[in-house]
């Protein structure tokens, strides 16, 4: 349910999981940004699909990008937008 982010774009995607309101959407920020989220109720923080901790009302989470980078191996060359079109048709 996240946005389409072109390769080569140095960005961080923050995606709410199971939001209670439909207008809560993923956001894309620069990878060197710092985002602070303040909890208005009780919740759970999950990072890359792993539960990390409970977050109580009034607590905040600060999200920053990592200085570590990862490389991916590609076995076939395909344009991002061609792949999207193939999956949507």
User: Of 45, 49, 34, 40, which Cα lies nearest the Cα of 21?
Assistant: 40
pLDDT of residue 28: 94
Place of tokens 């191996």: 73
What gap in Å lies between CA 46 and CA 76, rounded to an integer?
32
What gap in Å lies between CA 65 and CA 3, rounded to an integer?
18
- Mind listing the pLDDT tens digit for each residue in 29-79? 999 999 998 988 888 888 877 888 899 999 998 989 888 888 878 777 778
The DSSP secondary-structure symbol of 85 reads H
Q: Which tokens go with 71?
A: 């490389």
pLDDT of residue 6: 85
pTM, two decimal places: 0.66
User: Of 33, 30, 35, which Cα lies nearest the Cα of 10?
Assistant: 30
> Cβ(19)–Cβ(8) under 8 Å?
no
């Amino acid at each position: 349910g996240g946005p389409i982010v072109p390769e080569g774009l140095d960005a961080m995607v923050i995606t709410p999981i199971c939001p209670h309101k439909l207008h809560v959407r993923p956001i894309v920020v620069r990878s060197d940004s710092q985002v602070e989220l303040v909890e208005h109720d009780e919740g759970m923080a999950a990072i890359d699909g792993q539960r990390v901790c409970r977050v109580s009302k009034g607590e905040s989470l600060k999200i920053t990008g990592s200085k570590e980078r990862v490389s991916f191996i590609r076995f076939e060359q395909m344009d991002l937008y061609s792949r999207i079109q193939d999956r949507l048709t």
